[in-house]
A and B are shown apart, each in its own frame.
Chain A
Amino acid sequence: MVSPFRVVTPTTVPEAAAEMERLGDAARIYAGGAELLLLMRNGLLEPDYLVNIKQVPSLHGINWDGHVLRVGAAVTHRQLERDPQVHAHAPTLGEAEHHIGNIRVRTQGTLGGNLAFADPHADPGTALLVHDASVTVEGPRGPRQLLLDDFFVSTYETALEPDELLTEVQVPPLPFGWGWAYERIERFYRPTVNAAAAIAANDGRIAEVRLAVGCVGPRALRLRELEEKLQGLNLADAKRVIGESSEYLVEQLEPVGDLLGGADYKIHVTGVLLARAVEQALARTGDRDDRQ
Protein backbone atom coordinates (compact mmCIF):
# COMPACT_ATOMS: atom_id res chain seq x y z
CA MET A 1 0.00 0.00 0.00
CA VAL A 2 1.04 3.58 -0.62
CA SER A 3 1.11 5.77 2.44
CA PRO A 4 -1.23 8.75 2.09
CA PHE A 5 -0.07 11.93 0.42
CA ARG A 6 -1.59 15.03 -1.09
CA VAL A 7 -1.59 16.13 -4.70
CA VAL A 8 -1.18 19.62 -6.10
CA THR A 9 -1.76 20.26 -9.80
CA PRO A 10 -0.09 23.36 -11.26
CA THR A 11 -0.84 24.37 -14.86
CA THR A 12 2.29 26.38 -15.65
CA VAL A 13 6.01 25.80 -15.09
CA PRO A 14 6.38 28.85 -12.76
CA GLU A 15 3.47 27.52 -10.67
CA ALA A 16 5.12 24.10 -10.50
CA ALA A 17 8.45 25.65 -9.49
CA ALA A 18 6.73 27.76 -6.84
CA GLU A 19 5.09 24.63 -5.42
CA MET A 20 8.41 22.80 -5.30
CA GLU A 21 9.97 25.76 -3.49
CA ARG A 22 7.05 25.99 -1.04
CA LEU A 23 6.81 22.26 -0.28
CA GLY A 24 10.55 21.56 -0.33
CA ASP A 25 11.86 18.09 0.42
CA ALA A 26 8.39 16.81 1.29
CA ALA A 27 7.40 16.97 -2.39
CA ARG A 28 8.22 14.97 -5.50
CA ILE A 29 7.44 15.78 -9.12
CA TYR A 30 4.83 13.42 -10.55
CA ALA A 31 4.99 13.16 -14.35
CA GLY A 32 4.14 9.60 -15.45
CA GLY A 33 4.56 7.72 -12.20
CA ALA A 34 6.07 4.65 -13.85
CA GLU A 35 9.13 4.70 -11.58
CA LEU A 36 7.96 6.97 -8.75
CA LEU A 37 4.87 4.96 -7.81
CA LEU A 38 6.88 1.73 -7.77
CA LEU A 39 9.22 3.17 -5.15
CA MET A 40 6.33 4.61 -3.16
CA ARG A 41 4.43 1.32 -3.19
CA ASN A 42 7.51 -0.44 -1.89
CA GLY A 43 7.87 2.12 0.90
CA LEU A 44 11.25 3.30 -0.40
CA LEU A 45 9.95 6.83 -0.88
CA GLU A 46 7.20 8.45 1.17
CA PRO A 47 6.60 11.98 -0.09
CA ASP A 48 3.92 14.07 1.63
CA TYR A 49 3.09 15.80 -1.64
CA LEU A 50 3.13 15.01 -5.33
CA VAL A 51 3.39 17.99 -7.66
CA ASN A 52 1.44 16.68 -10.65
CA ILE A 53 2.86 18.30 -13.79
CA LYS A 54 0.63 16.46 -16.25
CA GLN A 55 -1.65 19.49 -16.61
CA VAL A 56 1.17 21.81 -17.73
CA PRO A 57 0.55 22.06 -21.50
CA SER A 58 4.05 23.28 -22.40
CA LEU A 59 5.60 20.02 -21.15
CA HIS A 60 3.78 17.80 -23.66
CA GLY A 61 5.19 18.79 -27.03
CA ILE A 62 7.59 17.15 -29.50
CA ASN A 63 8.79 19.89 -31.86
CA TRP A 64 11.46 20.07 -34.53
CA ASP A 65 12.44 23.74 -34.76
CA GLY A 66 14.64 23.36 -37.83
CA HIS A 67 17.81 22.84 -35.76
CA VAL A 68 16.96 20.83 -32.69
CA LEU A 69 14.30 18.33 -31.62
CA ARG A 70 12.61 19.72 -28.51
CA VAL A 71 10.89 17.21 -26.25
CA GLY A 72 8.74 18.33 -23.32
CA ALA A 73 9.56 16.62 -20.04
CA ALA A 74 6.09 15.04 -19.73
CA VAL A 75 6.12 13.45 -23.20
CA THR A 76 5.63 9.69 -22.84
CA HIS A 77 7.93 7.01 -24.20
CA ARG A 78 5.06 5.78 -26.36
CA GLN A 79 4.68 9.21 -27.98
CA LEU A 80 8.40 9.28 -28.73
CA GLU A 81 8.42 5.72 -30.03
CA ARG A 82 5.65 6.57 -32.51
CA ASP A 83 6.69 10.06 -33.59
CA PRO A 84 8.15 10.24 -37.13
CA GLN A 85 10.08 13.41 -36.20
CA VAL A 86 11.96 11.44 -33.55
CA HIS A 87 12.95 8.71 -36.00
CA ALA A 88 13.93 11.29 -38.64
CA HIS A 89 16.07 13.54 -36.43
CA ALA A 90 17.11 11.38 -33.48
CA PRO A 91 16.87 7.74 -34.62
CA THR A 92 19.10 6.59 -31.77
CA LEU A 93 16.54 7.91 -29.30
CA GLY A 94 13.68 6.42 -31.33
CA GLU A 95 15.30 2.99 -31.15
CA ALA A 96 16.03 3.27 -27.42
CA GLU A 97 12.44 4.34 -26.71
CA HIS A 98 11.10 1.30 -28.56
CA HIS A 99 12.84 -1.00 -26.08
CA ILE A 100 11.82 0.58 -22.78
CA GLY A 101 10.09 -1.77 -20.32
CA ASN A 102 6.89 -2.90 -21.99
CA ILE A 103 3.96 -1.30 -23.79
CA ARG A 104 2.30 -0.24 -20.51
CA VAL A 105 5.48 1.31 -19.09
CA ARG A 106 5.94 3.21 -22.37
CA THR A 107 2.32 4.40 -22.26
CA GLN A 108 2.73 5.79 -18.75
CA GLY A 109 6.40 6.74 -18.34
CA THR A 110 7.85 10.05 -19.50
CA LEU A 111 11.23 11.04 -20.88
CA GLY A 112 11.65 13.76 -18.25
CA GLY A 113 10.77 11.36 -15.47
CA ASN A 114 13.20 8.76 -16.77
CA LEU A 115 16.11 11.21 -16.95
CA ALA A 116 15.36 12.95 -13.65
CA PHE A 117 14.96 9.61 -11.88
CA ALA A 118 18.49 8.71 -13.04
CA ASP A 119 18.14 4.97 -12.61
CA PRO A 120 21.35 3.67 -14.16
CA HIS A 121 19.44 0.80 -15.83
CA ALA A 122 17.69 3.07 -18.31
CA ASP A 123 17.60 3.33 -22.09
CA PRO A 124 17.16 6.94 -23.27
CA GLY A 125 20.13 8.56 -21.52
CA THR A 126 22.71 6.42 -23.32
CA ALA A 127 21.15 7.21 -26.72
CA LEU A 128 20.84 10.93 -25.96
CA LEU A 129 24.51 11.22 -24.96
CA VAL A 130 25.68 10.45 -28.52
CA HIS A 131 23.36 13.21 -29.77
CA ASP A 132 25.04 15.71 -27.41
CA ALA A 133 21.58 16.38 -25.96
CA SER A 134 20.96 19.11 -23.42
CA VAL A 135 18.18 19.77 -20.93
CA THR A 136 16.42 22.81 -19.51
CA VAL A 137 15.67 22.85 -15.81
CA GLU A 138 13.55 25.54 -14.19
CA GLY A 139 13.14 26.72 -10.65
CA PRO A 140 12.35 29.87 -8.67
CA ARG A 141 15.61 31.42 -9.97
CA GLY A 142 14.50 30.91 -13.57
CA PRO A 143 15.55 28.47 -16.27
CA ARG A 144 19.02 27.11 -16.94
CA GLN A 145 20.28 24.87 -19.70
CA LEU A 146 22.93 22.20 -19.26
CA LEU A 147 24.32 19.30 -21.21
CA LEU A 148 22.76 15.95 -20.34
CA ASP A 149 26.33 14.83 -19.66
CA ASP A 150 26.45 17.43 -16.84
CA PHE A 151 22.87 16.70 -15.71
CA PHE A 152 23.62 13.07 -14.85
CA VAL A 153 25.61 12.89 -11.63
CA SER A 154 25.30 9.40 -10.19
CA THR A 155 22.80 6.68 -9.34
CA TYR A 156 19.44 8.40 -8.69
CA GLU A 157 21.33 11.70 -8.58
CA THR A 158 21.18 14.61 -11.02
CA ALA A 159 22.15 18.29 -11.10
CA LEU A 160 18.54 19.21 -10.24
CA GLU A 161 18.13 21.35 -7.13
CA PRO A 162 15.25 20.26 -4.85
CA ASP A 163 13.09 23.17 -6.06
CA GLU A 164 13.82 22.67 -9.77
CA LEU A 165 12.11 20.61 -12.41
CA LEU A 166 13.27 19.29 -15.74
CA THR A 167 11.15 20.97 -18.43
CA GLU A 168 12.62 20.18 -21.85
CA VAL A 169 15.15 17.94 -23.57
CA GLN A 170 16.91 19.32 -26.64
CA VAL A 171 18.23 16.74 -29.10
CA PRO A 172 20.47 17.98 -31.91
CA PRO A 173 20.38 15.70 -34.96
CA LEU A 174 23.54 13.87 -35.93
CA PRO A 175 25.46 15.70 -38.68
CA PHE A 176 24.46 14.73 -42.22
CA GLY A 177 25.76 11.35 -43.32
CA TRP A 178 26.54 10.01 -39.85
CA GLY A 179 25.50 6.48 -38.94
CA TRP A 180 24.03 5.47 -35.61
CA ALA A 181 23.36 2.42 -33.47
CA TYR A 182 21.74 1.53 -30.17
CA GLU A 183 22.47 -1.92 -28.74
CA ARG A 184 21.35 -3.52 -25.51
CA ILE A 185 20.96 -6.81 -23.80
CA GLU A 186 18.28 -7.17 -21.20
CA ARG A 187 17.16 -9.20 -18.25
CA PHE A 188 13.99 -8.60 -16.24
CA TYR A 189 12.92 -6.10 -18.95
CA ARG A 190 15.63 -3.60 -18.12
CA PRO A 191 18.90 -3.27 -19.99
CA THR A 192 21.77 -5.10 -18.30
CA VAL A 193 24.13 -3.06 -20.47
CA ASN A 194 23.45 -0.70 -23.35
CA ALA A 195 25.68 1.09 -25.83
CA ALA A 196 25.13 3.80 -28.42
CA ALA A 197 27.38 4.87 -31.27
CA ALA A 198 27.33 7.69 -33.82
CA ILE A 199 29.93 7.65 -36.58
CA ALA A 200 31.09 9.67 -39.56
CA ALA A 201 33.02 7.56 -42.06
CA ASN A 202 35.62 8.42 -44.62
CA ASP A 203 36.53 5.74 -47.13
CA GLY A 204 35.40 2.95 -44.81
CA ARG A 205 37.37 4.36 -41.89
CA ILE A 206 36.04 6.07 -38.78
CA ALA A 207 36.42 9.83 -39.27
CA GLU A 208 34.54 10.87 -36.14
CA VAL A 209 32.81 8.81 -33.48
CA ARG A 210 30.77 9.27 -30.34
CA LEU A 211 30.29 6.35 -27.96
CA ALA A 212 28.14 6.05 -24.86
CA VAL A 213 27.55 3.20 -22.44
CA GLY A 214 24.91 2.85 -19.75
CA CYS A 215 23.82 0.55 -16.90
CA VAL A 216 27.33 -0.67 -16.03
CA GLY A 217 28.13 1.75 -13.21
CA PRO A 218 26.53 4.70 -11.45
CA ARG A 219 25.53 6.61 -14.63
CA ALA A 220 25.58 6.54 -18.43
CA LEU A 221 28.82 7.95 -19.84
CA ARG A 222 30.52 9.09 -23.03
CA LEU A 223 33.82 7.23 -23.65
CA ARG A 224 35.83 10.16 -24.98
CA GLU A 225 39.31 8.60 -24.85
CA LEU A 226 38.15 5.51 -26.69
CA GLU A 227 36.43 7.76 -29.26
CA GLU A 228 39.79 9.42 -29.97
CA LYS A 229 41.56 6.09 -30.27
CA LEU A 230 39.08 4.84 -32.87
CA GLN A 231 39.55 7.80 -35.19
CA GLY A 232 41.08 6.80 -38.53
CA LEU A 233 40.56 3.07 -37.95
CA ASN A 234 38.68 0.59 -40.11
CA LEU A 235 36.13 -1.76 -38.54
CA ALA A 236 38.55 -4.62 -37.89
CA ASP A 237 41.06 -2.36 -36.13
CA ALA A 238 38.30 -0.60 -34.21
CA LYS A 239 37.02 -3.94 -32.92
CA ARG A 240 40.54 -4.94 -31.89
CA VAL A 241 41.04 -1.67 -29.98
CA ILE A 242 37.67 -2.06 -28.25
CA GLY A 243 38.62 -5.64 -27.34
CA GLU A 244 41.82 -4.37 -25.71
CA SER A 245 40.03 -1.64 -23.71
CA SER A 246 38.62 -3.54 -20.77
CA GLU A 247 40.98 -1.86 -18.28
CA TYR A 248 39.92 1.56 -19.57
CA LEU A 249 36.25 0.52 -19.44
CA VAL A 250 36.59 -0.58 -15.81
CA GLU A 251 38.26 2.69 -14.88
CA GLN A 252 35.70 4.85 -16.71
CA LEU A 253 32.49 2.96 -16.04
CA GLU A 254 33.10 1.89 -12.41
CA PRO A 255 31.14 -1.35 -12.92
CA VAL A 256 28.75 -2.36 -10.18
CA GLY A 257 27.61 -5.95 -9.84
CA ASP A 258 23.86 -6.16 -9.31
CA LEU A 259 20.86 -8.42 -9.94
CA LEU A 260 21.30 -8.00 -13.67
CA GLY A 261 24.92 -9.11 -13.79
CA GLY A 262 28.32 -9.14 -12.11
CA ALA A 263 30.87 -6.39 -12.72
CA ASP A 264 33.20 -8.58 -14.84
CA TYR A 265 30.30 -9.82 -16.92
CA LYS A 266 29.06 -6.28 -17.55
CA ILE A 267 32.49 -5.17 -18.74
CA HIS A 268 32.72 -8.16 -21.08
CA VAL A 269 29.28 -7.40 -22.50
CA THR A 270 30.17 -3.71 -22.86
CA GLY A 271 33.02 -4.66 -25.20
CA VAL A 272 30.73 -6.91 -27.23
CA LEU A 273 27.98 -4.28 -27.52
CA LEU A 274 30.42 -1.48 -28.38
CA ALA A 275 31.86 -3.59 -31.22
CA ARG A 276 28.34 -4.34 -32.50
CA ALA A 277 27.32 -0.69 -32.23
CA VAL A 278 30.38 0.51 -34.13
CA GLU A 279 29.78 -2.07 -36.86
CA GLN A 280 26.11 -1.16 -37.16
CA ALA A 281 26.75 2.61 -37.11
CA LEU A 282 29.48 2.29 -39.74
CA ALA A 283 27.12 0.31 -41.95
CA ARG A 284 24.56 3.10 -41.66
CA THR A 285 26.90 5.98 -42.54
CA GLY A 286 25.98 7.98 -45.61
CA ASP A 287 22.49 6.53 -45.94
CA ARG A 288 20.56 8.72 -43.53
CA ASP A 289 17.26 10.07 -44.75
CA ASP A 290 17.36 13.75 -45.53
CA ARG A 291 16.07 15.86 -42.71
CA GLN A 292 12.82 17.66 -43.40
Chain B
Amino acid sequence: MIGSELRLQTVQTAPVSLMVNGQPWSGDVPVEEVLLDLIRSRIGLTGTKRGCESEVCGACEVLVDGAPVSSCNFLAFEANGREHTTIEGVADGDQLHPVQEAFIRNVAAQCGYCTSGQIMSAVALLRENTSPTYEEIAQWMVGNICRCGCYPAIARSIMEAGEELRAKGGANGQG
Protein backbone atom coordinates (compact mmCIF):
# COMPACT_ATOMS: atom_id res chain seq x y z
CA MET B 1 0.00 0.00 0.00
CA ILE B 2 2.93 2.26 0.73
CA GLY B 3 4.12 1.56 -2.81
CA SER B 4 0.78 2.63 -4.19
CA GLU B 5 0.82 5.90 -2.22
CA LEU B 6 4.32 6.64 -3.47
CA ARG B 7 3.27 6.05 -7.05
CA LEU B 8 0.36 8.39 -6.69
CA GLN B 9 2.50 11.30 -5.58
CA THR B 10 2.41 14.08 -8.09
CA VAL B 11 5.86 15.02 -9.34
CA GLN B 12 7.36 18.20 -10.78
CA THR B 13 10.69 16.75 -11.78
CA ALA B 14 11.60 13.20 -12.68
CA PRO B 15 14.89 11.29 -12.62
CA VAL B 16 15.75 10.17 -16.13
CA SER B 17 18.34 7.58 -17.14
CA LEU B 18 18.52 6.89 -20.82
CA MET B 19 20.78 5.77 -23.62
CA VAL B 20 21.55 8.09 -26.53
CA ASN B 21 23.46 6.61 -29.45
CA GLY B 22 24.75 3.89 -27.15
CA GLN B 23 25.92 6.32 -24.44
CA PRO B 24 24.21 6.57 -21.03
CA TRP B 25 22.89 9.87 -19.69
CA SER B 26 21.25 10.51 -16.30
CA GLY B 27 19.77 13.56 -14.64
CA ASP B 28 16.65 15.17 -13.22
CA VAL B 29 14.36 16.95 -15.67
CA PRO B 30 11.22 19.06 -15.14
CA VAL B 31 8.22 17.05 -16.30
CA GLU B 32 7.23 19.77 -18.78
CA GLU B 33 10.58 19.61 -20.59
CA VAL B 34 10.42 18.09 -24.07
CA LEU B 35 12.91 15.55 -25.41
CA LEU B 36 14.19 18.04 -28.01
CA ASP B 37 15.46 20.36 -25.25
CA LEU B 38 16.92 17.46 -23.28
CA ILE B 39 18.84 16.27 -26.36
CA ARG B 40 19.99 19.70 -27.56
CA SER B 41 20.56 21.64 -24.33
CA ARG B 42 21.36 19.07 -21.65
CA ILE B 43 23.03 16.35 -23.69
CA GLY B 44 24.50 18.80 -26.22
CA LEU B 45 23.60 16.97 -29.43
CA THR B 46 22.48 19.75 -31.77
CA GLY B 47 22.01 17.77 -34.99
CA THR B 48 18.34 17.40 -34.03
CA LYS B 49 16.61 20.60 -35.16
CA ARG B 50 13.74 22.67 -33.81
CA GLY B 51 11.23 23.22 -36.58
CA CYS B 52 7.49 23.73 -36.61
CA GLU B 53 6.93 22.46 -33.04
CA SER B 54 3.63 21.05 -34.26
CA GLU B 55 4.55 17.44 -35.20
CA VAL B 56 4.26 18.41 -38.85
CA CYS B 57 7.72 19.14 -40.28
CA GLY B 58 9.92 16.34 -38.92
CA ALA B 59 13.08 18.41 -38.33
CA CYS B 60 13.17 17.23 -34.69
CA GLU B 61 12.69 13.54 -35.48
CA VAL B 62 14.60 11.02 -33.36
CA LEU B 63 14.12 7.30 -32.79
CA VAL B 64 12.92 6.17 -29.36
CA ASP B 65 13.35 2.42 -28.99
CA GLY B 66 13.58 2.41 -32.78
CA ALA B 67 10.27 4.24 -33.33
CA PRO B 68 10.18 7.67 -35.00
CA VAL B 69 9.06 10.44 -32.64
CA SER B 70 8.70 14.23 -32.80
CA SER B 71 11.10 15.15 -29.99
CA CYS B 72 9.48 18.62 -29.83
CA ASN B 73 6.22 17.07 -28.64
CA PHE B 74 7.51 14.22 -26.48
CA LEU B 75 7.92 14.75 -22.74
CA ALA B 76 11.51 14.09 -21.71
CA PHE B 77 10.59 12.16 -18.56
CA GLU B 78 9.10 9.49 -20.84
CA ALA B 79 12.59 8.85 -22.20
CA ASN B 80 13.55 7.16 -18.94
CA GLY B 81 14.91 3.67 -19.51
CA ARG B 82 14.74 3.92 -23.27
CA GLU B 83 17.21 3.81 -26.13
CA HIS B 84 17.50 6.84 -28.42
CA THR B 85 19.07 7.34 -31.80
CA THR B 86 19.76 10.84 -33.11
CA ILE B 87 21.44 11.85 -36.35
CA GLU B 88 24.79 11.75 -34.51
CA GLY B 89 24.32 8.01 -33.91
CA VAL B 90 23.34 6.87 -37.37
CA ALA B 91 26.86 6.38 -38.73
CA ASP B 92 28.98 3.45 -37.57
CA GLY B 93 32.08 5.29 -36.41
CA ASP B 94 33.59 6.88 -39.53
CA GLN B 95 31.45 4.72 -41.79
CA LEU B 96 28.40 6.71 -42.86
CA HIS B 97 25.05 4.95 -43.01
CA PRO B 98 23.99 4.01 -46.56
CA VAL B 99 21.17 6.58 -46.29
CA GLN B 100 23.69 9.32 -45.46
CA GLU B 101 25.95 8.27 -48.32
CA ALA B 102 23.03 8.24 -50.75
CA PHE B 103 21.88 11.70 -49.60
CA ILE B 104 25.36 13.07 -50.29
CA ARG B 105 25.67 11.28 -53.63
CA ASN B 106 22.27 12.55 -54.82
CA VAL B 107 22.59 16.03 -53.27
CA ALA B 108 19.35 15.37 -51.40
CA ALA B 109 19.64 18.63 -49.44
CA GLN B 110 19.91 22.28 -50.26
CA CYS B 111 19.75 24.28 -47.02
CA GLY B 112 19.98 21.06 -45.00
CA TYR B 113 17.82 22.10 -42.08
CA CYS B 114 15.37 19.23 -42.49
CA THR B 115 18.04 16.69 -43.40
CA SER B 116 18.60 15.19 -39.93
CA GLY B 117 14.92 14.42 -39.66
CA GLN B 118 14.70 13.17 -43.25
CA ILE B 119 17.53 10.74 -42.58
CA MET B 120 16.07 9.54 -39.25
CA SER B 121 12.75 8.90 -40.95
CA ALA B 122 14.42 7.10 -43.86
CA VAL B 123 16.47 4.93 -41.50
CA ALA B 124 13.29 3.97 -39.60
CA LEU B 125 11.51 3.12 -42.86
CA LEU B 126 14.36 0.95 -44.15
CA ARG B 127 14.50 -0.95 -40.87
CA GLU B 128 10.95 -2.10 -41.63
CA ASN B 129 11.16 -2.41 -45.36
CA THR B 130 14.35 -2.36 -47.43
CA SER B 131 12.45 -2.28 -50.74
CA PRO B 132 9.84 0.44 -50.38
CA THR B 133 8.03 1.63 -53.50
CA TYR B 134 7.90 5.33 -54.36
CA GLU B 135 4.31 5.42 -53.01
CA GLU B 136 5.36 3.77 -49.74
CA ILE B 137 8.20 6.25 -49.37
CA ALA B 138 5.86 9.18 -50.08
CA GLN B 139 3.32 7.93 -47.52
CA TRP B 140 5.97 7.29 -44.82
CA MET B 141 7.79 10.59 -45.41
CA VAL B 142 4.66 12.78 -45.55
CA GLY B 143 5.66 14.18 -42.16
CA ASN B 144 9.14 15.25 -43.30
CA ILE B 145 8.87 18.55 -45.07
CA CYS B 146 11.63 19.90 -47.32
CA ARG B 147 10.89 23.45 -48.37
CA CYS B 148 13.86 23.42 -50.75
CA GLY B 149 11.94 20.73 -52.62
CA CYS B 150 14.55 17.97 -52.64
CA TYR B 151 11.91 15.24 -52.55
CA PRO B 152 12.92 13.48 -55.79
CA ALA B 153 16.53 13.19 -54.63
CA ILE B 154 15.41 12.12 -51.16
CA ALA B 155 13.18 9.37 -52.55
CA ARG B 156 15.92 8.19 -54.90
CA SER B 157 18.39 8.14 -52.00
CA ILE B 158 16.10 5.98 -49.90
CA MET B 159 15.63 3.51 -52.75
CA GLU B 160 19.37 3.31 -53.37
CA ALA B 161 20.14 2.90 -49.67
CA GLY B 162 17.52 0.15 -49.50
CA GLU B 163 19.22 -1.61 -52.38
CA GLU B 164 22.56 -1.40 -50.60
CA LEU B 165 21.08 -2.69 -47.36
CA ARG B 166 19.43 -5.58 -49.19
CA ALA B 167 22.77 -6.48 -50.72
CA LYS B 168 24.32 -6.41 -47.25
CA GLY B 169 21.52 -8.61 -45.94
CA GLY B 170 19.26 -6.31 -43.94
CA ALA B 171 18.89 -2.94 -42.31
CA ASN B 172 19.89 -3.97 -38.80
CA GLY B 173 23.12 -3.34 -37.02
CA GLN B 174 23.22 0.40 -37.59
CA GLY B 175 22.64 3.08 -34.95
A→B interface (CB under 8 Å): 1-11, 15, 19, 33-34, 37-38, 41, 49-50, 54, 78, 101-105, 107-108, 188-189
Contact = CB atoms under 8 A, between A and B. Distances in A.
B175 interface: no
B67 interface: yes
Interface residues of B, number: 33
Contact of B56 (A2, A15, A19, A188): A188
Contacts of B172: none
Contacts of A41: 53, 73
Given A101-B55, A103-B121, A5 B68 contact: no
A285 B32 CA distance: 49
B8 A104 contact: no
B8 A37 contact: no
Contact of A189 (B12, B77, B143): B143
Q: Is the interface of B mostly helix, strand, loop or mixed?
A: mixed
B10 A7 contact: yes
6 closest A-B pairs by CB: A102-B143, A6-B10, A2-B32, A8-B10, A104-B70, A7-B31
Contact of A34 (B34, B55, B68, B140): B55
A33 B32 contact: no
B12 A33 contact: no
A188 B75 CA distance: 24
Interface string B29-67: 011101000000000000000000111101001000001
B23 interface: no
A105 B144 CA distance: 12
Nearest to A9: B7
B73 A33 contact: yes
B157 to A, nearest CB: 18
Interface string B139-164: 01011100000000000000000000
Contacts of B91: none
Given A5-B31, A102-B143, A108 B14 contact: no
Identify the interface centre among B4, B75, B124: most chain A CB within 10 Å of its CB.
B75
Contact of A5 (B8, B32, B70, B144): B32
